[in-house]
Amino acid sequence: MNVLNPPIIARIAIGKGIGLVFGLAGMLSAPLFYPEIDNLTRIGILLWYPTMGAFIGVFGVLIHHPVLNMPLPWWVRAPLIGAWMNFVLVFFAYDTLSAVISGTTGTDLSPFWFVLQGAIVGAVIGFLATRYAGDGPAILAS
């Protein structure tokens, strides 16, 4: 019996795996960009991106928007989920992310630039999950 059957489980596993890679990269590289970062924030970065990947994996079922009655391909859906997740993250950790951006760039840029980063990470996760596990309601079949 295939453990990754139905394909929705494969999508979620791929999303969480790619998210874990991004989370590990963020956690390990954070002290290089912002040496004053605390361990709880680093662990939060580690856990945030696998969660994003799981959401992108689950929402792979929706290829048509139920309310707006329009197509919702992966290249729209995944970056939107990634951007939304990081948008929420900025609200929870505005001061910390503002200090990270100031420490990294030396300027007073807005931490809302992390929303763009979330969209890019979401697009990568969505592409790989769709490429290797598919999307649409058919992925629910066992």
Question: How does pLDDT run across 87-141, given as a tens digit for each residue?
Answer: 999 998 898 888 888 877 777 788 898 999 999 999 999 999 999 988 877 777 7
Q: Please indicate, yes or no, whether the overall pTM of this predicted structure exceeds 0.85.
A: yes
> What pLDDT, in 10s, does the model give residues 41-95?
899 999 999 999 999 999 988 888 888 888 889 999 999 999 999 999 999 889 8
Report CA-CA distances (Å) from 73 to 33, 41, 64, 92. Answer: 35, 33, 8, 29
pLDDT of residue 3: 56
Task: With both helix axes pointing from N to C terminus, report the angle between 7-33 and 113-133 in degrees, rounded to the nearest 10.
Answer: 150
Rounded CA gap, 115 and 49, in Å? 13
pLDDT of residue 2: 56
Reported as a pLDDT band with limits 50, 70 and 90, residue 4 is low
Query: In percent, how much of the chain has pLDDT > 90?
Result: 55
Reported as a pLDDT band with limits 50, 70 and 90, residue 33 is confident
Reported as a pLDDT band with limits 50, 70 and 90, residue 6 is confident
pLDDT of residue 142: 56
